[in-house]
Amino acid sequence: MPTGLADNVRKFRRAAGLSQEGLAEAADLSLSTIRKVEQGGDARVETLHAMARALGVTTSALFATEAPKPVVGPEDEANRRYLAELRRALMPAVGLGAPRPARGEPPELSALHRGVQEGHALYWADQYGAVAKRLPLLLESSESAVASAEGAERSQALLARCHVLLLTGKYLTQVRQYDMAYYALAEAIRLARETDRTQLAATGIVGLCWLLLRQDRFDESEEVAATTAAEIEPRLSTATPGQLAVWGELWLRVASATVRNNRPDVAREARRMAGTAASALDTECVAFPDHWGGFGPVTAEMKVVEDLALAGDARAVLRRTDDGLLSAKALRNFGRPTTPNWGRHRLDVARAHILLGSHQDAMDELTQLRRTSGSWLTHQPMARYVMTDILRTRKRTLTQDMRGMASHLGVSG
């Protein structure tokens, strides 16, 4: 059955004067892929990027509102159970009466901040289960602290609540629970603004823009990131590392949104602005708690390579990997990027190996990531895409490592 996506692809293809064969050639895709989409089939977003580039339109122009396909099965049911306590703590039921009373004695704010710091460290250490177990109590405790605080203490309680919500939103985005993550991040940004913590609000917006990217909301991610970057642009000569890092990360979000949305000119300018911030830092920076991400020269370079990966230029990806700012020497001089950023980059490398038929090299990348970030890896669609391609295209018998990786990622051959 034709869909809105199918209708849009067909409409823009005809407007461009292309046959299905012509679009396939221009987008460097197979004819069967074009036919599948125009007949109502699904496609990866990367495939839609390629079509949009060939058609000269934004990627978001191809999207259309449809009734969602049902998501059912053991995994969906398990996730509902796993997140039930966290969901109750984050989004309690609302009735006609007064809000629910705060539970127990209000905690010391220092204990809340310490709990957030420990949770953040566990997040970077790939201990997602430990983070999930801590969040419900942190949410309930911070709510209790706000409810009981008065006068000058209320601002400090709101700040503690903001930090808890930022951690919650960051975790939920990583495990792809986007609606809950949006609620947490939006509330964190609101509290940061209410307490005049512009820097903290901006780092929350960095996280929100990443969430919007994961939902393929490219236009909104670009607009919010660009507007915020303009509002907080620092004086380079006097800016703190945290200010430069947040400003630079916002430009990375603009670039990531626009390169995915087939707006290369805007993406290039955004990458240039991010490079300016990275040069001013001259090192990788995580200025927690006022900066919740990671940014610096190495991260900015990895995102340039990510653009090459999105364009399907596998040889260029491999040429720039482990060279220049991504070389071992540069990592020693500038510092290592955050573990998730590095992991996403190495998945781009694995994908490039797959495109060039180097299955073992791709497996080596996946194996290393499983060793250092096994929990994180299971939440990455690109890891499953790479493993699926290995299973589909490898001519020889799968190795034991390949079978083990497929099982770890939940991919069946």
Residue-wise pLDDT tens digits, 106-163 = 788 999 999 999 999 999 888 988 999 999 999 999 999 998 888 889 999 999 999 9
Average pLDDT over residues 395-404: 86
Residue 67 has pLDDT above 60, yes or no: no
The pLDDT confidence band at residue 93, using thresholds 50, 70 and 90, is confident
Instruction: Give me the pLDDT at residue 49, please.
Output: 86
Q: What amino acid occupies position 218?
A: F
Instruction: Give me the pLDDT at residue 95, please.
Output: 84
Reported pTM: 0.88
Highest mean pLDDT (candidates 79-83, 193-197, 397-401): 193-197
Residues 335, 339, 344, 346, CA torsion sign: positive
Burial of 28 (0-12, 13-18, 19+ CB in 10 A): exposed
Instruction: Give me the pLDDT at residue 320, please.
Output: 94
Give the model confidence (pLDDT) of 207-229 as tens digits: 999 999 999 999 999 999 999 99
Tell me the C-alpha distance between 289 and 253, whole Å: 20
- CA 245 to chain centroid, in Å, comes to 17
Residue 362 has pLDDT above 60, yes or no: yes
Instruction: Give me the pLDDT at residue 225, please.
Output: 98
Mean residue pLDDT of the chain comes to: 89
Q: What is the number of alpha carbons within 13 Å of residue 218 lying toward its C-beta?
A: 21
- Residue 95 is encoded by which pair of tokens? 């009735």
Cis peptide before 92 (omega within 30 of 0): no
Give the model confidence (pLDDT) of 295-330 as tens digits: 999 999 999 999 999 888 999 999 999 899 999 999
